[in-house]
Amino acid sequence: MGLADDLTSEVKSIFATMWKERDGQKIPEPIDVKLGNDAVKLNAAILYADLADSTGLVNSETKPFAAEIYKAYLHSASKLIRDEGGAITAFDGDRVMGVFIGDSKKSTAARCALKINYAVEKIINPAIKSQYAGKNYSVRHAIGVDSSEVLVARTGVWGANDLVWVGRAANYAAKLCALRTEGYSAWITEDVFTSMEKNSKYGGANKNELMWKEFNWTGKGIKVYGSNWVWTP
């Protein structure tokens, strides 16, 4: 049997095999899900943190400098996701994906987004200016957060596979990272905003200043909320 025949057989099997779905109580590891049509259902908040214009970065700067930017941003975002109780589930070039579950998942993910804002504005960019005096480069980024039921399946082949997160939250969180409204780096959907706890909505000295501004998401027909606030880790 040639490779084309093998692929034809495997694809037919994927479409013909009934799915085995079960409710999850924790974020699964790849070993928890079989390679066949096996899946775990979760209600989750998903966060994507993404460097802006990484193509411009690698085109205009040296490879070592670009690698330092990648490392500083992804390291900071990953540490903050874990510190907030989230699980790091994927890296994709210049972005990292975090998953949050539990009763406070939406508030926690939104707060984490503001902490990543802090890391960029108060730690990473000042460190660049300190180390590279005269260099005209600052990290710009975007973070997207949405929440929904997701189906977690395992995809790939033996020896090279990983989990795939299928559902609105994974898609919308990634797409929100493409919003480039000047001054707003953290983005959440209306579903996240309306369900958040008060302390993730309001800040300032008296905790009465709304930290999120309402926008219409062009092409999606829903409201989203952007923030330029920072939250000290």
Residue 218: per-residue pLDDT: 81
Inter-helix orientation angle 63-83/105-118, to 10° = 140
Residue type, 100: F
102 phi, psi to nearest 5 deg: 105, 175
DSSP 100-165: E-STTHHHHHHHHHHHHHHIIIIIIHHHHHHHSTT------EEEEEEEEEEEEEEEEETTEEEEEE
- State the residue for tokens 């406070």: 104
Tens digits of pLDDT across the chain (233 residues): 689 988 999 899 999 999 999 999 899 998 899 988 999 999 999 999 999 989 889 999 999 999 999 999 999 999 999 999 999 999 988 999 999 999 999 999 999 999 999 999 999 999 999 999 988 899 999 999 999 999 999 988 888 888 999 999 999 999 999 998 878 999 999 999 999 999 999 999 888 999 999 999 987 889 999 999 999 99
Q: Where are the domains of the chain?
A: 40-227
CA separation, residue 113 to residues 48, 49, 214 (Å) = 9, 8, 16
Q: The whole model's pTM is what?
A: 0.94
Alpha helices in the chain (DSSP H): 3-16, 54-60, 63-83, 105-118, 125-131, 168-176, 190-195
Residue 1: per-residue pLDDT: 66
**40-227 classified as CATH 3.40.50.2000:** no
What's the CA gap between 188 and 184, in Å, rounded? 11
